A and B are shown apart, each in its own frame.
Chain A
Amino acid sequence: MSFDIRGPQQQNVPVRQPRLSLPRGPFVPVWVMAAALFAASPLIAPGSLSVSALQSMLPFAAILAIAALGQSFVISQGGIDLSVPGAMALAAVFATKVPQTTGMPVPLAAALGLLAGAVGGLVIGIAVVRFGIAAFVVTLAMNAVLIGAVMQLSKGFPGSAHRRFSEFAAGSLWIVPNLLIIAVVLVAVTQWLRRRSVAGRRFMAVGASSSAARLLGVRTSTYQISAYVVAGLLYALAGLLLAGYLRTPDILLGNTYQLSSIAAVVLGGSLLTGGVSSAAATGGAALFLTQLNQVVLAAGATTSVQLLVQAAVLALAVILRRVPFGAISRSFKATGSPAR
């Protein structure tokens, strides 16, 4: 049994079914924004879609995508991770300084760098999940510990990446930068794991509601801790690849990624409360943010204008995503005027 609750004048209006169902959901807007940005790029800065411009931009987008992917693991569990710069910088030191000073083979040193990132993540995970300390505090503290280790290992001097490693990081397969390939593979694998594999679906279920997942017999704390470990590993990988790409990175190369990785995750449509997250959309947001940065730079804006434009676009992007366009257009169609 049902009641018709429409007003008398509305009852004669036939309810229109949408003829074309557009893709919807929280992860769509970022692709629309990215497409719009790329379409507008040549108008703002001519030549910003040229092959060489894209080849300069895409490796940075790939690094941000990998770091943001790590961040998305943590955020999908309702956490937040401020240890990105420390983990990135430590891995970079392992890839550059450690082989130079100790004579350790580069692959071994790089593996140690990745391990260091994972161990950092494990410590954070245990502190957050087992001891219930706020992620914000633990990750900030871990960042300080990692930066301290960076300073200790490097003695304040950056080193240079091995020539062959650097050539790989800066190289490309035909015209596609190697770093982009790595980022796309990682994003695709993560997307597939989260959507299709049992472990991935359990992981997302824990993020959505850990108490419900626990009632279903999922070992929630294992999944929650693993989020930090995987995140640490991904930050370290991002730092490693960035060090290779820059060849001689500065000591604190990860600093700009601390908040931009979070911005990419949020812009991609993931919820900060956890449970809703898309690896692909996070990658899309990383691409959007990097291209935005590059277009503004290529337009030759001063630093102040660059910051203002980026700020405005970011704010707009986040706000626009919250506007209920569907409801507005429905009320338009129903009354012929905007809803009051």
Chain B
Amino acid sequence: MLYKRRRMLAAGSLVTAFLAITGCATPKGDTASSTNVDKVYNDTTRIGDVSQLKPITEFCGSKPLKVALADGTGDNAWRKTARAEFENEARKCPNLTVLPYSDAQNNPQKAIGDIKALVSQGADAIVVFPDAGEALLPTLREAFQAGVAVVPWTANPGGTPGKDYTTFVGHNTINDGHTWARWTCEHLGDAGGNVLFLGGTPGNTQSTTELKGVEEEFASNAACKNVKLLNDAGKPIDTNWNPAQTQRVVAGLLTKYPKVDAIISDSGDGSLGGIRAFQSANRKLPLWTANDLNGFACEWKQTHTQQPDFNVVTVSSRTWIVRLALRKAVAAKEGIKNDEPEIINIPIYEDSFDSAKQPKCEPTLPTSAILSAQMPADELKNVYN
């Protein structure tokens, strides 16, 4: 009896642990309240195009400055590319010294500690990827009030620019949704078709705002009148941006929907899994959108000859926005006015329908390499080795 009870206890606690872990293992996106975050992408005074960006040499000034990049996690190709872009941009100003890179390893406590350490090392300007979202706000504010130029980028920590930190820079995710949706409608043509939007982690702001853009475009663009979005309104399909999970999710969706004519995805990595799901189910590959990724372009190159309907469009994976963040931070410390936009509309990077923008596959670089990085070819190669 005692054994039986123990067994039940063990089994029960195992199940509880399993649930707790599956439930809590959801990777963190930006946790800032969505209302606060959404506002940024609707503020037209802050939004602009890449044509309005300027070289850093206009903002170098003369005062010697110590600059630093505080990352939330550093173990993937995207972050490594962004770090290289940051260091490359800083080298263009002779008066900038780059402090050691800090990687919070997905740990909010370490992120806080890292920023405090950089401040105590005398950093003048810190560019932060605030993966921990609002949890970092007090630390950012503290550094900002101590006279450090603090520029969070891509993940919005909430708060108010000018009060909690210098400014926030990022890309216009709503515009990405519009771009993908416009391209999809244009190429589905009058016949229209069924479209699925794949997002990332549950509830992440990036995917929900992108979907907002997609929905707006479908509602307002006459070319989209026969295009049907299969998602529930405002609900991206969660894939965790993970190829294995995306493959499973898409396999499930293919069971549910006998006809899928376009996939709007916001991840090149995840898309690779989604493509595998179509192939395993022996289904024709549809139109596909993503962010640029070497592996995604190579997959298209390999398969498009046998799959004529498989066409792709990508917007840049915009690692280069870290350069804008650095320019904003340096300009603030040097007392030079910087009128570059803060939220950037990302242009189309590759389009398989456009002979000038054919997908770029570089077999010597890893699958997860980002070719839209603004790096010289040899330096880019070093990033991945």
Binding site for B on A (CB under 8 A): 45-48, 50, 52-53, 55-57, 59-60, 100, 151, 155-160, 170, 242, 245-251, 253, 255-256, 258-260, 262-263, 266, 271-273, 293-294, 297-300, 302-304, 307, 310-311, 314-315, 318, 322
Cβ-based interface call for B17 (8 A)? yes
Q: Are A318 and B12 in contact (CB under 8 A)?
A: yes
Q: How far is the CA of A322 from the CA of B249 in the complex (A)?
A: 33
Q: Are A55 and B253 in contact (CB under 8 A)?
A: no
Q: How far is the CA of A297 from the CA of B238 in the complex (A)?
A: 10
- CB closest chain-B residue, reference A59: B280
CB distance from B156 to the nearest CB of A (A): 22
Given contacts A50-B255, A157-B368, A246-B273, 20 further A-B contacts (CB under 8 A): A46-B256, A47-B258, A59-B280, A60-B248, A155-B385, A157-B76, A157-B369, A158-B367, A170-B276, A170-B279, A256-B244, A258-B21, A259-B17, A273-B10, A293-B248, A297-B248, A302-B238, A303-B202, A315-B15, A318-B12
Q: Are B281 and A53 in contact (CB under 8 A)?
A: yes
Q: Are A303 and B238 in contact (CB under 8 A)?
A: yes
* A250 and B252 contact, Cβ closer than 8 Å, known pairs A160-B367, A322-B8: no
A151 contact set on B, CB distance < 8 A: 75
* A314 and B244 contact, Cβ closer than 8 Å, known pairs A300-B256, A302-B235: no
Which of chain B's residues 202-228 have a Cβ closer than 8 Å to chain A? 202
Q: Are A250 and B269 in contact (CB under 8 A)?
A: yes
- Interface size on B, as a range, is 35 or more
Cβ-based interface call for B7 (8 A)? yes
Cβ-based interface call for B45 (8 A)? no
Q: Are B21 and A259 in contact (CB under 8 A)?
A: yes
- Chain A interface mostly helix, strand, loop or mixed? helix
B133 contact set on A, CB distance < 8 A: none
Select A156's contact among B4, B25, B80, beta carbons within 8 Å: B80
CB distance from B60 to the nearest CB of A (A): 31
Q: Are A250 and B243 in contact (CB under 8 A)?
A: yes
CB distance from A159 to the nearest CB of B (A): 6
* A53 and B202 contact, Cβ closer than 8 Å, known pairs A157-B77, A253-B244, A300-B256: no
Select A55's contact among B8, B238, B249, B280, beta carbons within 8 Å: B280
A55, A60, A242, A272 — which one has the most chain B CB atoms within 10 A of its CB? A272
- CB closest chain-A residue, reference B252: A297
Q: How far is the CA of A70 from the CA of B184 in the complex (A)?
A: 46
Q: How far is the CA of A126 from the CA of B241 in the complex (A)?
A: 38
- CB closest chain-B residue, reference A299: B256
A248 contact set on B, CB distance < 8 A: 243, 269, 272, 295, 367
Q: Are B251 and A57 in contact (CB under 8 A)?
A: yes
Question: Chain B 269-297, CB within 8 Å of chain A: the 1/0 string?
Answer: 10011001101111100000000000100
- CB closest chain-A residue, reference B201: A303
Q: Are B276 and A246 in contact (CB under 8 A)?
A: yes
CB distance from B217 to the nearest CB of A (A): 23
Q: Are A298 and B280 in contact (CB under 8 A)?
A: no
Q: Are A160 and B295 in contact (CB under 8 A)?
A: yes
- CB closest chain-B residue, reference A301: B252
